[in-house]
A and B are shown apart, each in its own frame.
Chain A
Amino acid sequence: MSDGDDAPARELKVVGQRPVRPDGADKVTGRAMFGADFRLPGMLAGRVKRSPHPHARIVSIDTTAAAALPGVKAIVTGADFDLAAAGKIEAGESATDVKSVSINCMAHEKALYQGHAVAAVAATSAEIADEALDLIEVTYEVLPHVIDVEDAMKDGAPLLYPDMITTGESPAPTEPSNIASKMVAGCGDVKGAMERADIVVEGRYRTAAVHQGYIEPHACVASWGADGQAVVWASTQGQFLVRALTAKICNMPLSDLKVIPSEIGGGFGGKTTVYLEPVALTLSRKCGRPVKLVMSREEVFIASGPTSGSVIDVKLGAMKDGTIIAAEATLAYQAGAFPGSPVNLGCMTAFACYDIENVGLVGYDVVSNRPKVAAYRAPGAPMAAFAVESAIDELALKLNMDPIDLRLKNAVREGAKAVYGATLKSIGFVETLEAVKAHPNYTTPPAPGVTRGVAAGFWFNIGGESSASVHVDEDGGVTVVSANPDIGGSRASMVMMAAEVIGVPVEHVRGIVADTASIGFSSTTGGSRVTFATGMAVVQAAERIVEDLKLRAAKTWDCDVSQVDWKEGRALCLDPSKDVQPLDLRSIAGKSARTGGPIGAEVSLNAQGAAPGFGVHVCDLKVDPETGQTTIVKYTAAQDVGRAIHPSYVEGQLQGGAAQGVGWALNEEYVYGPNGTLENASFLDYRMPVASDLPMIDTILVESRPNPRHPFGVKGVGEVPIVPPLAAVANAISRITNKRMTSLPLSPMKVLDALSGD
Chain B
Amino acid sequence: MSRIRIATTVNGEPVEFLGGGSQSLLDALRDELGLTGSKEGCGTGDCGACSVMVDGRLVCSCLMLAPEAEGRRIETIEGMAENGELHPLQTSFLDEAALQCGFCTPGLLIAAKALLDRNPDPTETEVRYWLAGNVCRCTGYDKVVRAVMSAAATMRQAPKATEAVT
Contact = CB atoms under 8 A, between A and B. Distances in A.
A37 B36 contact: yes
Contacts of A37: 30, 36
A127 interface: yes
Contacts of A267: 101
Interface string B62-89: 0000000000000011101100001000
B102 A32 contact: yes
Contacts of A214: 101, 103, 137
Contact of B143 (A263, A266, A648): A648
Contacts of B119: none
Given A28-B105, A488-B100, A683-B42, A215 B128 contact: no
B134 A29 contact: no
Interface in B48-69: 49
A264 B44 contact: no
Given A25-B86, A28-B99, A655 B37 contact: no
B8 interface: no
A44 to B, nearest CB: 13
A681 to B, nearest CB: 10
A266 B139 CA distance: 11
Contacts of A488: 100-101, 138
A265 B103 contact: yes
B109 A656 contact: no
B37 A18 contact: no
Interface string A642-674: 000010110110011111100000000000000
B100 A656 contact: yes
A658 B140 contact: yes
A697 interface: yes
A80 B30 CA distance: 32
B144 A25 contact: no
Interface in B136-152: 136-146
A487 B99 CA distance: 10
Interface string B90-120: 1001111101111111100100000000000
A299 B77 CA distance: 27
Contacts of B109: 28
B42 A297 contact: yes
Contacts, number: 188
Contact of B145 (A24, A26, A125, A696): A696
Interface in A663-698: 682-684, 688-694, 696-697
Contact of B138 (A23, A30, A32, A656): A656
Contacts of A696: 124, 142, 145-146
A559 B78 CA distance: 55
Contact of A690 (B93, B105, B125, B135): B135
B104 A652 contact: no
B47 interface: yes
Contacts of A565: none
B90 A28 contact: yes
B165 to A, nearest CB: 14
Contacts of B90: 25, 28-29
Contacts of B143: 648, 651-652, 655
A28 B86 contact: yes
Given A37-B36, A691-B132, A215 B103 contact: yes
B80 A215 contact: no
A215 B104 contact: yes
A297 to B, nearest CB: 4
A453 interface: no
Interface residues of B, number: 59
B105 A692 contact: no
Contact of A215 (B22, B39, B125, B132): B39
B21 interface: yes
A30 B140 contact: no
Contacts of A30: 35-38, 76-78, 80, 106
Interface-centre pick from A18, A646, A683, A684 (highest chain B CB count, 10 A): A683
Contact of B142 (A20, A28, A489, A697): A697
Interface-centre pick from A30, A263, A652 (highest chain B CB count, 10 A): A30
Contact of A683 (B41, B96, B144): B41
A29 B86 contact: yes
Contacts of A268: 137
Given A29-B86, A31-B37, A34-B39, A266 B103 contact: yes
A265 B39 contact: yes
B50 to A, nearest CB: 11
Nearest to A37: B36
Interface in B1-59: 1, 21-22, 30, 35-44, 46-47, 49
A287 B95 CA distance: 47
A48 to B, nearest CB: 15
Contact of B41 (A20, A29, A215, A651): A215
Given A28-B99, A265-B103, A684 B46 contact: yes
A691 B101 contact: no
Nearest to A268: B137
A36 B106 contact: no
A720 B149 CA distance: 29
Interface-centre pick from B106, B142, B146 (highest chain A CB count, 10 A): B142
A694 B106 CA distance: 21
B155 interface: no
Interface string A33-70: 11011000000000000000000000000000000000
A296 interface: yes
A692 B145 CA distance: 10
A21 interface: yes
A547 interface: no
Contacts of B106: 28, 30
Contacts of B76: 30
B142 A29 contact: no
A691 B100 CA distance: 16
B137 A688 contact: yes
Contacts of B146: 696
B145 A691 contact: yes
Given A29-B90, A30-B77, A127-B1, A652 B47 contact: no
Given A652-B139, A692-B128, A216 B39 contact: yes
A691 B134 contact: yes
A309 interface: no
Interface of A: 18, 20-21, 23-34, 36-37, 125, 127, 212-217, 263-268, 296-297, 487-489, 646, 648-649, 651-652, 655-660, 682-684, 688-694, 696-697
Q: Give 8 nearest A-B pairs by CB, closest first.
A: A30-B37, A265-B103, A27-B102, A659-B140, A648-B97, A655-B140, A683-B46, A488-B100
19 contacts: A27-B99, A28-B102, A28-B109, A29-B77, A215-B47, A215-B49, A215-B136, A215-B137, A265-B101, A651-B97, A652-B139, A683-B41, A683-B47, A689-B141, A690-B141, A691-B131, A691-B134, A691-B145, A696-B146
Given A215-B101, A265-B103, 8 more contacts: A30-B80, A214-B137, A216-B101, A651-B143, A655-B139, A655-B143, A691-B145, A697-B140
